[in-house]
Amino acid sequence: MKAVVLAVLLAACAGTAVRDQTTTTEGLIATARDHGAQKCAPVELAMAESHNDYAEHALDEGNYYDARRDADVAATNAQSAIDKSPKDKCVGYGDNDNDGIPDKTDKCPNDPEDKDGFQDQDGCPDPDNDGDGLNDTIDKCPNDPEDKDGFQDEDGCPDPDNDNDGFLDKDDKCPNEPGVAPDGCPKKYNLVVVTEKKIELKQTVFFDFNKASIKSVSFALLNEVAQAMADNPKIKVEVQGHTDSVGNDAFNLKLSQSRAESVRTYLIKRGVSSDRMVPKGYGENVPIADNRTEAGRSQNRRVEFVITEH
């Protein structure tokens, strides 16, 4: 009976010693964590924590031998975690968001840097690099802010010269209309108007009957066309010839082509480069009025200047 009592007392003493050891190991684990073991010795730290928990559980169950074994493993790993975690190298160098920037210097430690070449050193994502209100995923110019002037603002790109006339919008008094010196506004002509799509004629180009020879009454009109081409040197046009429906279709098509070429030749003589004009006859195929009336046929006999390039 005395032997049994003695054994119980010895086990109790041993259990107390192991309990003290686990308490000491908890302190070592806390120290390891404080030194940054999560970063520098994560395996050793995890082993120390798990085996120390096992040891305490075994003690609660009265299993002294298993408790002692796990307590020893826990203590060894806790000390190893401390040894592998110099505080000056490991503390603050975690990387919660895995963006490659240590938490110590990461201004957004829980939001990964988007690594798009814009302010990547701060550790924060920049969904709108240029701050123009358009997310970089849809912004065609993510590093250049949209100028928000009502012209193509949806693409995210600044448009310093909206109308592409060579005059920057800040100096252009007509920023949305191609213009000329000195103010970037369209030049005012008496007989023509330069629009986005055409050089519109206020008069008709007249030819001799059934011929391609231009009547002199139309020289002033074509001279203004030549001037408009000179004032807008980037413009290229299709010189279109059109007829009414009177006569043979094939003849009308040939006549319209000849008249378009005649106008082009006239403008070349007035200094317009030949490569800026393409003559094209359409015959009677593109009427703009009723060919059953004289007034309609008169409107259909025409030359048009359709802008093909600015």
Spatial contact of 214 and 222, defined as CB atoms under 8 Å apart:
yes
Question: pTM of the prediction?
Answer: 0.48
Q: What 3-state DSSP class applies to 264?
A: helix
CATH homologous superfamily, domain 192-309: OmpA-like domain (3.30.1330.60)
Average pLDDT, integer, range 244-265:
97
Pair of tokens at residue 61: 């169950």
pLDDT in tens, 140-158: 887 777 767 777 768 777 7
Spatial contact of 85 and 35, defined as CB atoms under 8 Å apart:
yes
pLDDT confidence of residue 10: 46
Nearest residue to 258 via CA among 303, 223, 292, 300: 303
pLDDT in tens, 102-115: 776 767 777 777 67
**Rounded (5°) CA angle 216-251-197:** 60
Share above pLDDT 70 across residues of the chain, in percent, rounded to a whole number: 88
**CA distances from residue 181 to 23, 174, 235, 252, 310 in whole angstroms, order as listed:** 88, 11, 16, 41, 16
Ordered by start, the domain boundaries in the chain are 2-90, 192-309
> Confidence class of residue 47 from pLDDT cuts 50, 70 and 90?
very high
Q: How many CB atoms lie within 10 A of CB 63?
A: 16
pLDDT confidence of residue 64: 86
> Confidence class of residue 284 from pLDDT cuts 50, 70 and 90?
very high
Average pLDDT, integer, range 270-293:
97
Nearest residue to 191 via CA among 231, 218, 214, 212: 218
